[in-house]
Structure 1
Amino acid sequence: MTIQKRIGLYPGTFDPITLGHLDIIKRCAGLVDHLIIGVSANPSKDPMFTLAERMDMICREMDLITDDKFTTIDVIPFETLLMHFAEKVGASMIFRGLRAASDFEFEFQMTAMNDQLNPDIETVFLMADPSLQAISSRLVKEIAIYDGEINKFVTGRTRNDVLEKLKKK
């Protein structure tokens, strides 16, 4: 009897990766054998960081993810429909983090549409840790632009990346 690996996909723009994202990644890693962090090109969001920079930031933070189950984690870019990407990488589930009711409304609609595209891929919602619920990449960038302190929302490495990027603008 062959045991099928549980492959999960956690997609996002990660512009930049926050402590909230890292918390969800760590928790996802405990639920699957192989976790794929799908980094969306998503040019419509006008990202601060290039796709390559975002992937590099995520890869550097993976040392913070400890998993006793030895889950393998890959960071892979994508520029396609999420469900097409999920099918391509063999994911049986897509993870989404929820911070507030407004997140649920959006994710509920996306899940219903994704289910129409491929009902075999489950969407799994993980509630954000209460101490991290207010964090979003958009707010981190906005706080940094106006010289606010972002230490509570991102790692030191990511904070340095954000501040360095703002110096160049």
Structure 2
Amino acid sequence: MSTAVFPGSFDPPTNGHLDVITRAAAAFDEVIVAAGVNQSKQRLFSVEERVEMLTELAAAVSASTGGTVRVGTFEGLLVDYCRAEGAGVIIKGLRSGGDYDYELQMAQMNRKLSGVDTLFVPAAPENGYISSSLVKEIAKLGGEVSAFLPPSVHARLLAKLG
């Protein structure tokens, strides 16, 4: 069984994340969407809230693709999490050349540390400019962000921002 891990903060999960999850589910027997837990970072959504949102999305992707998508959390080194889960591949979505420059170095280090490879998935053109940070900033300023988020995530974001 081939298992891949798609790590991220997912604060909140966007349509770009959902696209990468769906595409990875078509390529691997199992995809673990792993929300990072970093107590030093300030997040809008708690890890529990992010896991709830991702679990809803994972269930929908599993149902539509026939693949297995599950959600987990990790703290510390991603490669340690991959080893513990039996995953041989890390999935990374790329929006731009800047993402590639950063992620390539990380991929090379992860491979050296553990032998775990990284597969880069280029963003679909309609999602290439979407980031969780930008969506949150626009929403906090009263802008319309429904086109960038799955409907259930959009509803949670609006409720969170009051």
Q: TM-score, normalised by structure 1?
A: 0.91
* SS of equivalent residue, structure 1 residue 14: coil
**Larger-Rg structure:** 1
Structure 1 residue 42: deviation in Å? 2.4
- Aligned partners of 1:34, 1:63: CA distance in 2, in Å? 13
- Aligned partners of 2:41, 2:132: CA distance in 1, in Å? 11
- Extract unaligned runs of 5+ from structure 1: none
Match of 1:62 in 2: 58
Structure 1 residue 77: deviation in Å? 0.9
Alignment equivalent of 1:101, drawn from 90, 97, 100: 97
Structure 1 residue 63: deviation in Å? 4.3
Match of 1:38 in 2: 34
Match of 1:126 in 2: 121
Amino acid aligned to 1:163? L
Contact 2:110/2:117 (8 A) holds in 1: no
Structure with the higher helix share, 1 or 2: 2
Alignment equivalent of 1:139, drawn from 112, 134, 138: 134
Q: TM-score, normalised by structure 2?
A: 0.95
State how many pairs are aligned: 160
State the percentage of identical aligned residues.
38
Match of 1:9 in 2: 5
* SS of equivalent residue, structure 2 residue 147: coil
Amino acid aligned to 1:142? E
Contact 1:13/1:42 (8 A) holds in 2: no
Match of 1:112 in 2: 108
- Aligned partners of 1:111, 1:122: CA distance in 2, in Å? 7
Provide the aligned C-alpha RMSD in A. Answer: 1.1
- Aligned partners of 1:44, 1:107: CA distance in 2, in Å? 21
Amino acid aligned to 2:98? S
Contact 1:15/1:137 (8 A) holds in 2: yes
Contact 2:58/2:70 (8 A) holds in 1: no
- Aligned partners of 1:94, 1:148: CA distance in 2, in Å? 33
Match of 1:162 in 2: 157
Which runs of at least 4 in structure 1 moved beyond 6 Å after TM superposition? none
Match of 1:20 in 2: 16
